[in-house]
Amino acid sequence: MENKEITIQSEFTSSILFSLVSFLFPTVEDFTYSGIKLPGNFKQTAFSSMAVNSNVFPGSNTLGVSIVRSDFGVGGVNVPRFHPRATEVGFVLEGKIYSGFVDTNNKVFAKVLEKGEVMVFQRGLVHFQMNVGDGPATILGSFDSQNPGLVRIPNAVFGSDLT
């Protein structure tokens, strides 16, 4: 096949493109991804996140998984948010993170996590993280969905058309 630029536009969502060539003739590159091995730029906001899903990692397509790398400067915050289509497990790779969630009875479950510890956030529950250590911190989040969705509470409330 000479034309290796064939793509199919999904009718379900305009943001996902499937490569026909990758589907028909997969290589090891379709099943590996190195885009999150280095920290993101958190210099201006003290927070950076990089999502890895089937849009950038074709080998994960249809497997029902995705991940995110979150890097925090000192005092950096990942604002309260929820994922409408996925449960998340957050694994602390480096630093000290104050991490928690709010259940459906408005009870807060939170504690400081250190390197090597994990916390689970159930689908649809508001959760948050903040770097409370003296240096940078990194979390690797894994999801049980290739498209977990993301609703940041501040954006949803203050970025909406409330009048």
Any binding-site annotation on 61?
A: no
Give me the sheet containing 88-94, strands edge to edge.
47-52, 66-72, 137-143, 88-94, 118-121
Residue 78 is labelled as binding a ligand: yes
To the question of whether residue 83 is assigned a binding role by annotation, the answer is: yes
106 marked ligand binding residue? no
Asked whether the beta carbons of 90 and 99 are under 8 A apart, the reply is yes
> CA 28: distance to chain centroid?
23
- Measure CA 34 to chain center: 15
Q: Which residues are annotated as a binding site?
A: 78, 83, 88, 127
Annotated binding-site residues for oxalate read 78, 83, 88
* Residues annotated within a binding site for Mn(2+): 83, 88, 127
